[in-house]
Amino acid sequence: MPKKLLLLPPLSASSAFRVPRARPAPPPAMNAARTGYRVFSANSTAACTELAKRITERLGAELGKSVVYQETNGETRVEIKESVRGQDIFIIQTIPRDVNTAVMELLIMAYALKTACARNIIGVIPYFPYSKQSKMRKRGSIVCKLLASMLAKAGLTHIITMDLHQKEIQGFFSFPVDNLRASPFLLQYIQEEIPNYRNAVIVAKSPDAAKRAQSYAERLRLGLAVIHGEAQCTELDMDDGRHSPPMVKNATLHPGLELPLMMAKEKPPITVVGDVGGRIAIIVDDIIDDVESFVAAAEILKERGAYKIYVMATHGILSAEAPRLIEESSIDEVVVTNTVPHEVQKLQCPKIKTVDISLILSEAIRRIHNGESMAYLFRNITVDD
């Protein structure tokens, strides 16, 4: 019996060259796309949240919902009131007088966000605490290095700060650190708010601050003066780990071992290197805490003929009796940024003025979240700034 042949229908021109359909793409993996960012404040006091509110207003965002408070036994408790899974989280922490409480608030909030599966946790710490304890002192410790390790262990992946006391502190961290500068805002204040600033001279109250003062003087095309020999103990005069243990009288040395004797330092009489007579003196520094040295420098400048004296710094800590001492001194005005809350000090001393730096902090947050370059924020910034 003959086999039947199966006849297929002829192929049309369109079907002969038909492109096979592409397979549908698999569903995206969970949290693969950037879902957004949130900004939290880690402070438990209302006065310290002012900078966070200014930053979120510039970003057009709202502060994240959280509760930070101190229990009756003194312990810090942090509660996150919304989902942060897969998001970039920015923690704004300004440092009030109670430094240790602020550090614990930051650590606990960072760890809470880490356990809540946040994508990245970026600390915005305009004034980094313990930054003066970044060198070995006798049998002490480098506390700033310890704090950097604690922040990394708590879950932080990035830090935004401003005018570190020592730029080498960035090397203590195992993650990126953006050390922003407040000098553009302070320079703008000098140009816009100080009458006849062209007749001013930039002053360093000690040789240690000469590089910063030189940077201001070169940008403003002004003269430079340095106060040398003031009766204060600078960081370079303190004993560090290389002098430990300290020298002891009648110390027993190994027989035959005679080390050359180090001559003791002796400060020369107080002198002002540079002409300040008939000028406006502008003293610049990074931190104003105990103001005795600034008050003493102002008195010296008055004696040398300066007719108006300004003090400008990034961080206005203004501890203890600082407002009263400033009010009673020859200083005409103290200009600081709002990296540290100082509203109470301003009420005690009307000479204290504030420059807002929330603009650069909000722009840094926006650029980091969007993965943009930070180079724009460091235009014309040199190593000495």
Q: Which two tokens stand for residue 21?
A: 């359909």
CATH entry, 183-231+269-355, from 3.40.50.2020, 3.30.540.10, 3.55.40.20, 3.50.50.60: 3.40.50.2020
The b/e string for 226-247 (b: 16+ C-beta within 10 A; e otherwise) is: bbbbbeeeeeeeeeeeeeeeee
Phi/psi of residue 270, nearest 5 degrees:
-65, 125
In the predicted structure, residue 123 carries a pLDDT above the cut 90? yes
pLDDT at 129: 94
Residues of the chain with CATH 3.40.50.2020: 38-180, 183-231+269-355
What SS3 class is residue 4?
Answer: coil
Between 250 and 194, whose confidence is greater?
A: 194
Domain 38-180: CATH class, spelled out? alpha beta
pLDDT at 121: 97
Q: Any idea what the Cα angle at residue 157 is, between residues 155 and 163, rounded to 5°?
A: 115
pLDDT at 68: 93
Q: What is d(CA 9, CA 218) in angstroms, rounded to the nearest whole number?
A: 88
Distances (CA, A) of 141 to 99, 132, 238: 18, 12, 14
Confidence of residue 385 (pLDDT cuts 50, 70, 90): confident
Q: Which two tokens stand for residue 129?
A: 């605490």
Confidence of residue 17 (pLDDT cuts 50, 70, 90): very low
pLDDT at 244: 52
Cβ atoms of 227 and 276 within 8 Å: the answer is: no
Per-chain mean pLDDT for the chain: 86
Q: What is the reported pTM?
A: 0.82
Between 290 and 238, whose confidence is greater?
A: 290
pLDDT at 311: 97
Q: What is d(CA 13, CA 283) in angstroms, rounded to the nearest whole number?
A: 86
Lowest mean pLDDT segment, chosen from 38-47, 60-69, 299-308, 330-339:
38-47
